[in-house]
Chains A and B, each alone.
Chain A
Amino acid sequence: MSGDVIGYILRRILHSIPLVIGVSIIGFGIMHLAPGGPLAVYTLNPTITVTDIERLRVALGLDQPIHLQYLSWAKAMLTGSWGVTFFGGRPVLEVILERVPATMTLMGSSLALAIVIGTLIGILGAVKRNSIFDYLATTGAMLALSFPTFWFGLMAIYVFAIQLGWLPSGGMYELGEEGNPWDLLRHLILPVMVLTLVLLATWSRYSRSSFLDVIQQDYIRTARSKGLGERQILFRHALRNAVIPLVALLGVQLPTLFSGALVAETIFSWPGMGRLFVDALNMKEYPILMGMIMFTAFFVIVGNLIADVAIAAIDPRVKLA
């Protein structure tokens, strides 16, 4: 059994390799799409002459055939040297990694909330199908999928920060309060609310249909005819099978989570990766942009890998061979 699982994990990792290569080729391609190529920022600097740029081109190997450039770039990515920033000359990977904790705090709390609330809404909607609650939840999800996240964020700032003055309108800590968990919590509420809503809509709809599928199956009827309580049937028997498609959804939703975090971080000046990305965009910091694109894509690949392995672990029907 355990040998099977390890074999499955190894095979699944092997299947991810073409994806990693594909992602790196597209990332490399986009970098060369940039007007002026990777040296664009120097062409804008009046103190750097044409001969200087030519010398840089040769020094950086940009005069070589494109496939050789790709190979040396890919080798550098693999060894963790993701280039240096145009402004300040700091290692790109370091700049990105220092933003990870803030983004993970935001994404983690939103995801946890969305999973718990969304699953509960889904279960209730499935059990009390076509009730007023079900109708309201479906309409609410439809509405949440239709309005632009940033607009919802702006409205939340208007109500809770400007009008009521209950919560701060942005940032992670007040000045001088760095590291104070209560201050962090106050700043987290609005961005988490916005990001949770994005995920909640999809999550509650999927968990509703997943539970509907499961509770109509024979083994649930068997459990009911054994005289088990409704709560035990739902949370012990149905939940286990109903979460399997939801774990897959989790993997698929990762890109959406990153996109949502970018928007939430921009509106609430949250010092995470999304904010870094938008700032880099405004300053034409191509090395950071490329680093971020590659980082998020790798994260999505690894996330999906973990989701697949988790499904194989909880679902005995998945064939490992």
Chain B
Amino acid sequence: MVDISVSDAVPTRSYTQTIARRFLSHRLAVVGAVMVVFLCASALFAQLVSPHDPMRIDTSQRFLPPFVSWGHLLGTDDLGRDTLSRLLYGGQVSLAVGIVAMLTTMVTGTLVGLAAGYYGGIIDNLLMRLVDTLLCFPQVFLLLVIAAFVPPTILSISLIIGLTSWMEVSRIVRAQVSSLKEMDFIQASRGFGASNWRIMLVELLPNIMAPVLVAATLKVATAVLMESYISFLGYGVQPPMASWGNMLTNAQGYFDTVPFLAILPGVLITFTVMSFNFLGDGLRDAIDARLKIDP
């Protein structure tokens, strides 16, 4: 009946607090985080913010120049569609593909890595040889072949990108699991009769979340890039739906006269990829720094 929590009030920082503190002192990481929040917000509220319908064609308003055209802040394209609205909706597509592809990558990579690291032996051997094999294919080649066979929708593109890029994640997870699985707390829960599934998902998974989170952030960046590649080559998001990649393909046709249309989508892709890279690098540094202090 003595309240020990009062007398025990030594100011200690939790693991999460330590990481948060390190993260916040990393300038580029904070910049990345702010940019990611801004991008996600503009994609989420594209419907509210867009001045026009991104698909509305108005041939009397073709190729309006940016910054000086009334009602079209960033000008219009070859069909008189509002560039700003198309960029906002295109961002929705890019981020949706990036995030769904990242989730696919994470789920597949984590499951394969968990199974390989935890069971070891022949399962480990088979799964890791599968990983080695898949890493022999140049990703853009594999992506394009599969994308050419499957009808392109936002979901199918995300899945294809996710399913061709989980291999590194499974290697990271496997390495973590193989070093953790001999530790006492795992042996203890096995002693208590916990099932393999329970040990993998309840005991092991939370302990490997940190590097997985870092990988996830960086994977959003590569997935956004990959979407722009396949959309640019015509096998991704199909017109008239806007994506930054297919806006670039379209702009390529009027390149020598209206370069502005080609500059903007590229700048936004770069901006997005860089934001997630900053965020991911910052997270990694924040987590690694802790490891260096108390190993």
Contact = CB atoms under 8 A, between A and B. Distances in A.
A33 B146 contact: yes
Contacts of B134: 26
B232 A142 contact: no
B201 interface: no
B262 A154 contact: yes
Contacts, number: 122
Q: Give the interface size bracket for A toward B.
A: 35 or more
Interface residues of B, number: 42
Nearest to B278: A142
Interface stretch (A53-61, A210-218, A226-234, A289-297): A289-297
Interface in B154-205: none
A154 B139 contact: no
B235 A255 contact: no
A155 B266 contact: yes
A28 interface: no
Contact of A281 (B145, B228, B245, B256): B145
Interface string B139-160: 1111011101100000000000
A30 B133 contact: no
Contacts of A262: 138, 140-141
A22 B144 contact: no
Interface stretch (A94-102, A114-122, A144-152): A144-152
Interface stretch (B43-51, B103-111, B269-277): B269-277
Interface in B91-128: none
Contacts of B140: 258-259, 262-263
B41 interface: no
Given A262-B140, A263-B140, A289-B145, A26 B133 contact: yes
Contacts of A176: none
Nearest to B271: A146
B266 A154 contact: yes
A258 B149 contact: no
Contacts of B229: 148-150, 263
Contact of B274 (A22, A35, A143): A143
B248 interface: yes
Interface of A: 18-19, 22-23, 26, 30, 33-35, 142-143, 145-152, 154-155, 157-158, 162, 255-256, 258-259, 262-263, 266, 277-278, 281-282, 284, 289, 292-293, 296-297, 300-301
Leading 3 A-B pairs by shortest Cβ distance: A22-B133, A151-B266, A259-B140
24 contacts: A19-B136, A23-B133, A30-B145, A33-B149, A142-B277, A142-B278, A143-B274, A146-B270, A147-B269, A147-B273, A148-B225, A151-B266, A151-B270, A154-B248, A154-B252, A155-B266, A258-B140, A259-B141, A263-B229, A281-B145, A281-B235, A292-B141, A296-B137, A297-B136
Interface of B: 129-130, 132-142, 144-146, 148-149, 221, 225, 228-229, 232-235, 245, 248, 252, 255-256, 259, 262-263, 265-266, 269-270, 273-274, 277-278
